């Protein structure tokens, strides 16, 4: 193994992450190469020095600031959210529907009792009676009406009123 090839393996060797299959070649090179041995030792020293840096703790307000920023995020509304109906609206709508049905049922008058069982027959009879009711000649000769006093004309009505005054 050359010193150039060692460059890609030296740190893995220092931090113990080198593949076991590669270890024999690396160690064989280190036995024969002093500069690479020095480099390995110095890289180990650097790694040790990096361990001396202290770990800092986040400030006491850190968590609160994260929570505040998360809480300030707008609530995402999905595109089909408009179809959702709140429970109150759904309840009010169902009550309205029930009321409409109830009012519609009770306000519809009962159909009149007809002597004819068939509605078509009833209609036909009514159509036949209509010309009779509109026939004045028939009314004039109608027996019950003959016992009534004769109708008073307009002039006679005026004379009668003057006589009374």
Q: Which residues bind other proteins (CB under 8 A)?
A: 7-8, 10-12, 15, 17, 39, 41-50, 52-59, 62-63, 65-66, 69-70, 73, 76
Could you please report the per-residue DSSP string of 36-75?
Answer: HHHHHHHHHHHHHHHTTSPPPPPPTTHHHHHHHHHHTSPP
- Cα 19 to chain center, whole Å? 58
Please state, as a whole number, how many other Cβ atoms lie within 10 Å of the Cβ of residue 29: 18
- With respect to other proteins, which residue has the nearer C-beta, 20 or 143? 20
Measured from the CB atom, the residue of 70 and 145 that comes closer to other proteins is 70
Nearer to other proteins among residue 76 and residue 146 (C-beta): 76
Nearer to other proteins, 16 or 131 (CB): 16
CB of 5 to other proteins, least distance (A): 11
DSSP string of 105-142? HHHSPPPPP-S-SSHHHHHHHHHHHHHHHH-HHHHHT-
Cβ of residue 46: shortest distance to other proteins, in angstroms? 5
Least Å distance, CB 92 to other proteins, is 29
Q: Please report how close the Cβ of residue 81 comes to other proteins at its closest, in angstroms.
A: 14
Task: Take residue 82 and report the two structure tokens written for it.
Answer: 């408009």
Task: Give long-range contacts, CB 8 A cutoff, 24+ apart: 64-73.
Answer: none
- Please give the Cα distance from 97 to 144 (Å, whole number): 54
Q: Please, what is the minimum distance in Å from the beta carbon of residue 83 to other proteins?
A: 19
Is there a contact between 30 and 36 (Cβ–Cβ < 8 Å)? yes
Q: Which is nearer to other proteins, 54 or 104 (CB)?
A: 54
């Amino acid at each position: 193994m050359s010193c150039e090839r060692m460059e890609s393996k030296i740190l893995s060797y220092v931090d113990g992450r080198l593949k076991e299959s590669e270890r024999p070649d690396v160690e064989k090179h280190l036995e024969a190469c002093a500069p690479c041995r020095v480099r390995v030792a110095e890289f180990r020293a650097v790694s040790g020095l990096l361990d001396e840096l202290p770990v800092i703790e986040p400030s006491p307000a850190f968590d609160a600031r994260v929570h505040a920023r998360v809480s300030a995020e707008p609530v995402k509304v999905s595109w089909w959210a408009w179809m959702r109906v709140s429970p109150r609206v759904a309840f009010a709508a169902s009550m309205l529907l029930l009321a409409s049905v109830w009012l519609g049922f009770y306000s519809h008058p009962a159909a009149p009792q007809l002597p004819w069982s068939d509605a078509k027959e009833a209609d036909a009879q009514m159509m036949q009676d209509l010309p009779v009711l509109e026939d004045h000649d028939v009314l004039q000769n109608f027996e019950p009406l003959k016992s009534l006093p004769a109708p008073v004309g307009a002039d006679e009505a005026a004379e009668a009123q003057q006589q009374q005054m």
